[in-house]
Structure 1
Amino acid sequence: MLRILTILLLAATAFAVILPASSKKNRDKAEDAPNIWVLIVAGSNGYYNYRHQSDACHAYHIMAKHGIPDSNIVVMQYDDIANDPENPTPGIIINHPNGSDVYKGALKDYTGDTVTSTNFLKILQGDAAAMKGIGSGKVINSGPNDHVFVNFVDHGAPGIVAFPNDELSAVDLNNAIKDMHKQKKFAKMVLYFEACESGSMFDGILPNNIDVFATTAANPDESSYACYYDDLRQTYLGDVYSVNWMEDSDKENLSKETLQSQFKIVKKETNTSHVMEYGDLTIAQMKVGDFMGHSFDEDAVQLPKVSKADAVKSEDVYLTILRKKAEKSQTPEESDYWMKQVHAATAKRGFINGVLRKLAGTVAKSSSHALELINTRQSIDDEEVHQCLHLANKFFSKNCFSLARNEYALFTAPRFLANACADGISAAELIRAMRKTCTHQTMHGIN
């Protein structure tokens, strides 16, 4: 009897030892599971840029619907569209013709003048101390096992994307990402960038060995496109690349679909520009849900397919909207008013073109070379050219025309500067030319 009791006691002791070890293993496994952190940015303001905040709000709802808690999502949006006087449906924003309200319930962690490139980089890098007392104060508090997803929507140009009052360069973005990798602030990072020439934010500068994968709406040399013009709202509701990936995410089981599968779908459906991929392409074999959340709603409403035949280059959106308002005017007086706005905008654009011609003439070898610097599209796919462009863009924006606050300057000047840098003209030469040429008064609102 004593022997039986001894055996039972030993067995119980062994089980007691094994059980905590097993529980610890399961607990460690749960603790090691990656958290998903999401940073969504609409980098513009102004009602004619309605589509950017609309895209961002829609992106938020995708993340929330797929199970990512608000504590792990940060949204930056200027928040001037929903209640703009031009909005015929106050407090409502839609991202699809006859679509549901995407503004309702969307996060607004950083709004107005807190939507800056400086704050963006601090939030991305998890600098909570720097963001204390600003907006919600939330940052991407990711660790070495976590996944980070970044969705940026706005205007762009070679080596740069815009915020409402400043710009973010490819050099600064990639330096921040590299620093995060060194500090082990993520296991994997995925970026979806919607902007003109958005490929230039990664081409030749994003390493392929730091666990980062990026897709862009356009290659380094072309515009991205707006779509879904709405007659009631008199603006474009979305951007082609953005609505393509979001409408795919709305209907797919993201636990089964890979990033590569989504990339191929979006690339095929975005027939207005060349959707690109950069960085560590092996990450594309991971599931979309690893970065947007795994929850799946079997009863999710799928939006009806709508033609994007009305797609227009981002750089043409402002004038196109003005012309459409003139065409649909009810009286000759109203039509005349909007056509005067078209002519005024065109004249302002002409002023910027004149300044660029002077700059080109100053640094070019000949008049034909000057035309080449303005009209061609040279590659900026190496770090030396990126560094030259980084310096030239910053100086131009500070001393000639703010690239963030004069969108037409953004559409034109960085391309000229990129061509010059790629052609061997140094940043120092370009800066000397800008000091000599940019003597006009400060100007804003040249769209």
Structure 2
Amino acid sequence: MKRATTIALTSVACLLCALFCLSDSKSLSYSSFANSLLSQREEQEYGDIWVLLVAGSSQYFNYRHQADICHAYQIVHAHGIPDERIVVMMYDDIAFNKMQSSMYALEFVRNPTPGILLNHPNGPNVYQGVPKDYTGEDVTPETFLNVLQGNSDAVEGKKVIRRSGLNHDDGGSNDHVFVYFSDHGAPGILGFPNEFLKARDLNNALKEMAEEGKFKKLVFYVEACESGSMFADLLPDNINVFATTASNTTTSSYACYYDTERQTYLGDVYSVKWMEDSDKQEALSRETLEKQYRLVRTETNTSRVQQYGNLKIAKLHHVSEFQGTKTHEPKTYPPVQFDAVPSMEVPVESLQRAFEDAETEEEASLILQRLKELLNARDFMEKVVASIVNDVLTSGNHFFEYEDIKWQQREITEWDCYEPLVDEFHNRCFQFGKNNYAMTHLQTFVNLCEIGIPSDAILKAMKQRCQFDRQVVGIH
């Protein structure tokens, strides 16, 4: 029936195209008419489009993550997805950020344009009109999974992804879901302001949703370091989920667009590549998901963009089926100097750039002091991790040293060994949301597990080495 409808619509398009060619009427172009027909065809094949946008970080130096999410909102909103079907999760501490000063804090700057967020140098304000569905302490992995799975009772009746379009063949949802996440990551986890999301928890939720028919197709874009580890060897290719990630399982993603006035980076490379591609399309129906993926993979030459899950979705479906079917005036951006840096080096690089741009000796001295504090704090963390590893290797009579383990890039297979280490390192040693740089050390614990070190031995060393007089914060 759907195939017959598609053929009929295509035939009508061809017939009316001929009529338009013979007519002098300028009230409607064939291009816009064809796009209208395509939208009607797509509506025949699926129900509603739902969008979930998540910025997992907080603090001003992570400006770009919330700017990414706000920009994504502007795209899907402009292409016709109503706010009632867009869920936005972000801490919302950037647009009206106020100056702070504390030990190891980088918050000695504030947003010079309150209420305005940019995702491109001299670009538009992407903050305007963005819904504040979940902010502050409500931005958690638990809330994210409940929103994604449509568990409204768990979030006290607040907005979630609902099953609005039912497929009468099997009773499941006929809707499409688009999820975009931007934040820090590490092997097997994505960051949130105070907690983190584990890869196995995410994939179990996706598989459960598929089994329960909570969507027809789901597309997931992830901006984070080591983001490929969230799906590699975990996301099946026989459920209707397609995911792309900014990096592979073991390497960094990159930030870009340093802004001198704001003293931070405005965007992330993978993210701005897909969003600026969508921006320049009048109709997103002209591009398949695969075409956007390949374009982004080619233009993101700083990290290794990957794809996972059911790749047929990318070949057969258009971007419009997940980001909106309404046509919109194309938006392009003037070329700027491309200045990408690894995501975790943004704090250091921003301080160095701010030091170079300082207008007074007093300002330069303050920035230099903050930079030295940050580097010393990173060095302290490195020594703690090294002591944990060396304790384990020494007690087990292993012929390795910390430096041998540190630089390996093994992929996770020993999940039951690794996950308890992540929990302990976060809870006892360095809380990731308050010490983003701690996530860079998780690869070391992957490596220990993969060479056969028992998790009990590593946990014991953590308990012995992470006995601090006060909570450690500000190591970014």
TM value normalised by structure 1: 0.89
1:163 counterpart residue number: 192
Alignment of 1:237-386 (within 5 A): 237-252=266-281, 253-285=283-315, 286-297=317-328, 299-308=329-338, 310-364=339-393, 365-366=397-398, 368-380=400-412, 382=413, 385-386=414-415
CA contact (8 A) 1:33 1:145 kept: yes
Q: 1:386 to 1:283 in 2, by over 3 A?
A: farther
Alignment equivalent of 1:112, drawn from 128, 136, 146: 136
Q: CA deviation at 1:351?
A: 1.2
Q: Tell me, what secondary structure is at the counterpart of 1:124?
A: helix
Q: 1:118 to 1:216 in 2, by over 3 A?
A: same
Alignment equivalent of 2:151, drawn from 127, 146, 151: 127
Q: Tell me, what secondary structure is at the counterpart of 1:226?
A: strand
Tell me which amino acid in the other structure corresponds to 2:48.
N
Alignment equivalent of 1:207, drawn from 215, 232, 236: 236
Q: Tell me, what secondary structure is at the counterpart of 1:41?
A: strand
Q: Tell me, what secondary structure is at the counterpart of 2:284?
A: coil
1:151 counterpart residue number: 180
Q: Are 2:448 and 1:420 aligned?
A: yes
Alignment equivalent of 1:140, drawn from 155, 158, 161: 161
Alignment equivalent of 1:91, drawn from 95, 101, 115: 115
2:18 counterpart residue number: none
Q: 1:439 to 1:201 in 2, by over 3 A?
A: same
Tell me which amino acid in the other structure corresponds to 2:310.
D
2:65 counterpart residue number: 52
Q: Distance in 1 between matches of 2:66 and 2:293?
A: 22
1:76 counterpart residue number: 89
**Farther-moved stretch of structure 1 (119-128 vs 387-396):** 387-396
Q: CA deviation at 1:239?
A: 0.4
Q: Distance in 1 between matches of 2:146 and 2:80?
A: 25
Q: CA deviation at 1:153?
A: 0.1
Q: 1:66 to 1:120 in 2, by over 3 A?
A: same
Answer with 1 or 2: which has the greater Rg.
Answer: 1
1:233 counterpart residue number: 262
Structure 1 gaps of 5+ residues are: 1-28
Tell me which amino acid in the other structure corresponds to 2:56.
G
CA contact (8 A) 1:170 1:386 kept: no
**Farther-moved stretch of structure 1 (30-39 vs 107-116):** 30-39
Q: Distance in 2 between matches of 1:274 and 1:31?
A: 36
TM value normalised by structure 2: 0.83
Q: Distance in 1 between matches of 2:335 and 2:310?
A: 32
Query: Deviating runs (4+, > 4 A) in structure 1?
Result: 29-32
1:332-366 residue CA offsets vs partner (Å, 9 max, x unmatched):
22212111111111111111111111111122244
Q: Distance in 1 between matches of 2:280 and 2:227?
A: 26
RMSD: 1.6
Q: Distance in 2 between matches of 1:80 and 1:236?
A: 16
Tell me which amino acid in the other structure corresponds to 1:141.
R
Q: 1:429 to 1:211 in 2, by over 3 A?
A: farther
Structure 2 gaps of 5+ residues are: 1-41, 99-109, 164-171
Q: Tell me, what secondary structure is at the counterpart of 1:368?
A: coil
Q: Distance in 1 between matches of 2:364 and 2:234?
A: 48
CA contact (8 A) 2:260 2:354 kept: no
Q: Are 2:76 and 1:63 aligned?
A: yes
1:111-167 residue CA offsets vs partner (Å, 9 max, x unmatched):
11111111111111111001116xxx1001135221111100000111111111111
Q: Distance in 2 between matches of 1:160 and 1:307?
A: 32
Q: Distance in 2 between matches of 1:287 and 1:32?
A: 12
* Number of residue pairs aligned between Structure 1 and Structure 2: 410
Q: Tell me, what secondary structure is at the counterpart of 1:255?
A: helix
Tell me which amino acid in the other structure corresponds to 2:128.
K
Q: Tell me, what secondary structure is at the counterpart of 2:286?
A: coil
1:375-419 residue CA offsets vs partner (Å, 9 max, x unmatched):
211122x4xx2333222211211111112221111122x111111
Q: CA deviation at 1:30?
A: 7.0
Q: CA deviation at 1:228?
A: 0.5
CA contact (8 A) 1:76 1:111 kept: yes
1:298-319 residue CA offsets vs partner (Å, 9 max, x unmatched):
x3332223332x1111111001
1:387 counterpart residue number: 416
CA contact (8 A) 1:159 1:389 kept: no
Q: Distance in 2 between matches of 1:193 and 1:52?
A: 11
2:28 counterpart residue number: none
Q: CA deviation at 1:90?
A: 1.0
Q: Distance in 1 between matches of 2:366 and 2:228?
A: 38
1:180-234 residue CA offsets vs partner (Å, 9 max, x unmatched):
1121111111100000111111111111111111100011111111101111111
Q: CA deviation at 1:32?
A: 7.2
Tell me which amino acid in the other structure corresponds to 1:272.
T
Q: CA deviation at 1:446?
A: 1.1
Q: 1:107 to 1:166 in 2, by over 3 A?
A: same
